[in-house]
Amino acid sequence: MLPMTFRDRLNQPGILLLDGAMGTELARRGINLTLPLWSAAAVLYAPETVIQIHAEYLAAGADIITTTTFRTDRHIFTKAGLAQQLARQACFAAVHLAQTAINNQIEQRCVFIAGSLAPLEDCYHPELVQDYDTIFSIQSEKAAWLAEAGVDFLLIETMNNNIETLATTQAALRTGLPVITSCLLCDADHLFDGTDIKPLMFELFNKGITAFALNCFHHTIISEFLNRYLPEIPLPLAVYPNADYYYPESGWQKDPTFTPANFARIALNWLKMGVKIIGGCCGTTPNHIHALHNLITQNRQLSS
């Protein structure tokens, strides 16, 4: 029997658990994540820690783990003064680290690998966006690397502007793999560059994405978005909030109420609304995913 594909699994009943943060979790464990490489540095210099974090998310109940490829593209490696060829090597190495964690599971189960594609510049500064053709070229190259390395689908993360969202999505779709495009919102109706989310969503649907997603902002905005737009979304929806607040004027502010238990309760409500995939973004840990997994187990109708 052939293994189940990600598209097949999306069409089955039951929810899917995405993993939580990698970058902030590496930093929490003392790994030096100097910009511009950020988490890509760990692929090169701390691969065992990357495998360990993947393994902990798997043990927590994650059905999907995300490659540590947020910054493994030739643009970032050039900015870091490194050879462009090293970006390709890091991309393949990151996929191999995810595969290793899956293969090392004591109890083998079906787990999918999401190949991460991220903004070429800072996630919270859409004014730095490059032109469409440059983005398309770099992201097409990276998407092809991820596909060749063996990911199950492409996860376009933290898209903060209209140009990069569309260029990266078009680049990812060229691979033929399932594509999930995830946007970064500043409020329930707009991306960080002010783009209205509703027409952009429908343009993405028409392009042929497999699912739509939201990531890396506060859970209150996600809840507001779901209340407003969920009935209009014809595709599976994924959400993965960060653990804190981000304000363009002042930066990050801690949210001490976002404990694993509170995250699980909030996320369970999203699942009951019809969200298909839930995980965590910056600041979340394996404990957050474990708490949600346990709460889902107690509400078995969601997982069957």
Q: State how far the Cα of 155 lies from the Cα of 117, in Å rounded to an integer.
A: 6
Q: State how far the Cα of 140 lies from the Cα of 127, in Å rounded to an integer.
A: 22
CATH number, span 13-303? 3.20.20.330
Q: Delimit the domains of the chain by residue range.
A: 13-303
Kind of pairing, strands 237-240 and 185-187? unpaired
Residue by residue, pLDDT tens for the chain (304 residues) are: 557 899 999 999 999 999 999 999 999 999 999 899 999 999 999 999 999 999 999 999 999 999 999 999 999 999 999 999 999 999 999 999 999 999 998 888 899 999 999 999 998 899 999 999 999 999 999 999 999 999 999 999 999 999 999 999 999 999 999 999 999 999 999 999 999 999 999 999 999 999 999 999 999 999 999 999 999 999 999 999 999 887 777 778 889 999 999 999 999 999 999 999 999 999 999 999 999 999 999 887 665 5
pTM equals 0.96
Q: Where are the alpha helices (DSSP H) in the chain?
A: 6-10, 23-28, 40-45, 47-60, 74-79, 84-103, 132-149, 162-173, 197-207, 219-229, 260-273, 286-298
Based on its alpha-carbon atoms, the radius of gyration of the chain, rounded to whole angstroms, reads: 18
